[in-house]
Amino acid sequence: MLSLKARRTLYTVLLSVGIAIVALFIFRTFFYFPSTVYGESMAPTLEDQNKIIISRIGEINRFDEVVFHAPDQDASYVKRVIGVPGDTIEYKNDVLYVNGKKHREPYLKEMKEAMQGDALFTNNFKLRDVIGEDTIPDGYLFVMGDNRRNSKDSRMFGLIPQDSVIGEVKFRYYPFPQIGWTN
């Protein structure tokens, strides 16, 4: 039989472990959780098998990298938010226009430089061509992969409901040479 001191120590250890497990469960369920990137649609920003941390808290803004439930299959996708409710979107000659204003996309620089010839990295389109409307309605987002020539995104499956967003990509923790905050 254990002495009183040993029982108290065991009780304290078990209670501490139990509290830590409950805290971890709450933290992972409601705040942050790890995930793995599958595919090259966000390259070079995020590449196949990168390990990331996703935040379930905070507001989703234009140009955030988000993970959401895929509208066309039982999977999750990671893409960049290009348009939010009320936005108009147009791509013309490899330039993004949101609400008629030109926007720089520095995260595309590496891929654009790697292209050969005069081909467009992102084909020309207007939001109306994709969804049949000029502006993104309330409750929806327009998303695209950074690897524009190899991404299944809103240009193919349309807008995504905001409530399908699981969270925002905040941190990459693998591979180790690329460890760091995203965005």
Q: Could you tell me the CATH number of the domain that includes residue 47?
A: 2.10.109.10
Residues 125 and 173 in one domain: yes
Pick the residue with more confidence: 149 or 117? 149
Using alpha carbons, list the distances in angstroms from residue 172 to 24, 71, 176: 20, 25, 9
Chain mean position to CA 121? 21
Residues 56 and 112 in one domain: yes
- 46-52: average pLDDT: 96
Residues 48 and 18 in one domain: no
Map residue 58 onto helix, strand or coil: coil
pLDDT at 24: 83
Q: What are the pLDDT digits (tens) for 19-32?
A: 998 888 877 777 88
Annotated active-site residue 164? The verdict is no
Residues 48 and 134 in one domain: yes
Residues 25 and 90 in one domain: no
CB atoms near residue 14 (< 10 Å): 10
List 79, 109, 164, 170, catalytic entry: 79
Q: What are the pLDDT digits (tens) for 149-181?
A: 999 999 999 999 999 999 999 999 999 999 998
Annotated active-site residue 109? The verdict is no
> Count of domains in the chain?
2
List 5, 35, 41, 92, catalytic entry: 41
Q: Which domain holds residue 12?
A: 1-30
Residues 126 and 144 in one domain: yes
- Separation of alpha carbons 15 and 34, rounded Å: 26
Residues 52 and 24 in one domain: no
- Separation of alpha carbons 127 and 136, rounded Å: 8
pLDDT at 117: 67
**Global pTM?**
0.86
Chain mean position to CA 113? 24
Residues 11 and 85 in one domain: no
Break the chain down into helix, strand, coil percent, rounded to 5: 30, 30, 40
Residues 83 and 6 in one domain: no
Bridge partner residues of 96 (DSSP): 91, 103
Residues 119 and 95 in one domain: yes
